[in-house]
Amino acid sequence: MDRLQALDAESRATRARTEQLIELAKKGLPQMFAHGAFVHTVRELKTASGRSVRAEGDSLRYAANVASGLAFVDEDVQRHILEGATAADLALNCARRAEKSKDPGAVALCAWAAAEVADVYAKPLLKRLTALLESEETIATVDCSWTLIAALAARHLGDTEHLSTLAANRLMGGQGATGLFPHMLPAVSNGRLRAHIGCFADQVYSTQGLARLSVAKNDPTALAAAEASGGRIAHLQGPAGQWWWHYDTRDGSVVEGYPVYSVHQHAMGPMALLDLREAGGTDHMKSVAKGLRWLDEHPEVDVPMVSEEDGVIWRKVARREPKKAVRAISALTTGLKRGFHLPGLDIMFPPSRVDYECRPYELGWLLYAWLSGGVVERLRNGAVRGGR
């Protein structure tokens, strides 16, 4: 049963809506592609004659994300979006660019895409990631998770055993007793009053990486670690399906829920929990479907988060606050005393602001989350070549 079929068994209406979102991603990505690369974002632009979206910047990370997602659509769609190129062409271009990047996250994503999309062992990138982890320098949890996934994706192409062991040990060594992961590894490098904080991305990519590790190496310890983190975020999911943003790794509670990001709802949450399910872990499809429904049934605001006209899903619902004030206050108060939140913050800073932008990785991950069913099984069989 593929992922959309499994979703259909939970909610036929949610499956139908997800298929619409997949088509929206195909429609929206071309406006984000320019000069052989993907922009950083498209942002709403209001004009005297109406409204449009404006492309801004450039992102190597996001290009690699999109390459991974596009590998699972028909080649003619890939060529339409990429102006004649394929997802494999994009992945290889990203790998070449990453050789000059100083961003370990971009290096890991590009090594992952090169292996999974183009079936290429990106030796310079994997060598740099190995050196980083051998140095025991601080590394972001997300970057470490991507490194693990890249090593697993490339294991049938070359020797990545040492790298995957380094990344897995760093991840599992940093996991809290409640199953949650801090933002940095080691956690103390995030600052004494923020060492207990982990964001949603830290949880989902760690869950995904460890679920894949459990399959690739038949490792029940890795599966248990993925179960703990995936199960905890599912337990903490909001009443309307919100995937909350900041967590306390010590007691497994929510530090600050907002912003709620659309990509968490339609792509990142599903991507991790579906990998966990396919690795033999708990089936969290009810939570996945509930998270998807938030896109259309969000209690925070009364405006649509999905714009069919613009080919985008607006980025997030956030608080009306100065300079992320509530996150900073909540990190401080919970750092001083577990579970302590200043009363009245929800009233003073309501979550009523929509961020009218959309980034390429959000649509790339949407495609990957729902079309990449089978990658875990191929990993079990020794190879993870993506695509159709």
Q: Which domains does the chain have, with CATH numbers?
A: 15-380 (1.50.10.10)
Band of residue 190 on the pLDDT scale cut at 50, 70, 90: low
pLDDT of amino acid 387: 60
pLDDT in the model for residue 357: 97
C-alpha to C-alpha distances, 68 to 27, 78, 225, 287, 289, nearest whole angstrom: 17, 11, 25, 24, 23
Mean pLDDT value of segment 328-356: 80
d(CA 85, CA 75): 9
Model confidence band, residue 339 (pLDDT cutoffs 50, 70, 90) = confident
- State pLDDT tens for residues 275-286: 999 999 999 999
Q: What share of the chain is helix, strand, coil (3-state, %, to 5)?
A: 55, 10, 35
pLDDT, one tens digit per residue, over 193-236 is 678 899 999 999 999 999 999 999 999 999 999 999 999 999 99
Q: Which of 36, 126, 161, 151 is nearest to 89 (CA)?
A: 36
Model confidence band, residue 337 (pLDDT cutoffs 50, 70, 90): confident
Give the model's pLDDT for residue 89: 98
Whether the bond between 186 and the residue before it is cis, its omega within 30 degrees of 0, is yes
Average pLDDT for 333-357? 82
The answer, yes or no, to whether residue 135 has pLDDT greater than 80, is yes
pLDDT for the residue numbered 128:
98
Q: What does pTM read for this prediction?
A: 0.94
What's the whole-number average pLDDT of the chain?
Answer: 93
- 303 Cβ neighbours under 8 A, 6+ residues apart: 354
More confident residue, 315 or 53: 315
d(CA 367, CA 362): 9
